[in-house]
Amino acid sequence: MDLTADFFTLFQLPRVFRIDTAELDARYLALQGEVHPDRFVGAGDAERRRSMQWATRANEACQTLKKPLERAKYLLTLAGHELAAENNAAMSPAFLMEQMEWREGVMEARVGGDQHELEHLRRRLGADMRARYQTLAQRLDDQKDYPAAAESVRQLMFLEKLRAEIDDALAFLDEAEG
């Protein structure tokens, strides 16, 4: 085993966005069974240290590949494509305007204490995100269009933050009621 192997190679998975997460889980458990530090309690310092490195690497790899957005970012990195996430200029003005409208809706619903509207916004956002993740999968796996995939990732990063804002607003209203 090679500690420098990419995360897909580590789990012997194809380097694609559409992975079988059940297979990832099974391969993660198998690898952890081989390298977990508990198996090396009586070993020498070097072996225990190496085991800890492997266990840490396996954990990091599994967490990255399990989360679709992180998996997409990792695939872009492996393809040598810059995400340019810090550059809002890389976002379309129409998308940025849409984000402003979403956030205004969330703020109005939160301030108005409208839990029903927040749940409605969350459902709409979920449907939008599912469609965008399907587009991302096509761009990464089918088209190998990394610039377009990077745009999808940047947009999904915004949408994930928006979903967290909605969840925070819902939690706030739940606490206010309780």
Give the residue extent of every domain in the chain: 7-66, 88-177
Q: Are 129 and 157 in contact (CB under 8 A)?
A: no
Q: What is the pLDDT of residues 135-173, one digit of tens each?
A: 999 999 999 999 999 999 999 999 999 999 999 999 999
Q: How confident is the model at residue 4 (pLDDT cuts 50, 70, 90)?
A: confident
Q: Are 146 and 72 in contact (CB under 8 A)?
A: no
Q: What is the pLDDT of residues 16-38, one digit of tens each?
A: 999 999 999 999 999 999 988 88
Q: Classify domain 88-177 by CATH number.
A: 1.20.1280.20
Task: Give yes or no for residue 2 having a pLDDT over 80.
Answer: no
Q: Do domains 7-66 and 88-177 have the same CATH topology?
A: no
Task: Give yes or no for residue 87 having a pLDDT over 90.
Answer: no
CA dist., res. 50 & res. 107, Å (int) = 50
Q: What is the pTM for the complete model shown?
A: 0.89
Architecture of domain 7-66 in this structure? Orthogonal Bundle (1.10)
Residue 88 is given by DSSP the state: G
Helix, strand, coil share (%) of the chain residues, nearest 5: 80, 0, 20
> Tokens 């240290």 label which residue?
49
Share of the chain above pLDDT 70, in %: 97
Summary count for the chain: helices (H), strands (E):
7, 0
Mean model confidence pLDDT for the chain: 93
Q: Which DSSP string corresponds to 136-168? A: HHIIIIIS--HHHHHHHHHHHHHHHHHHHHHHH
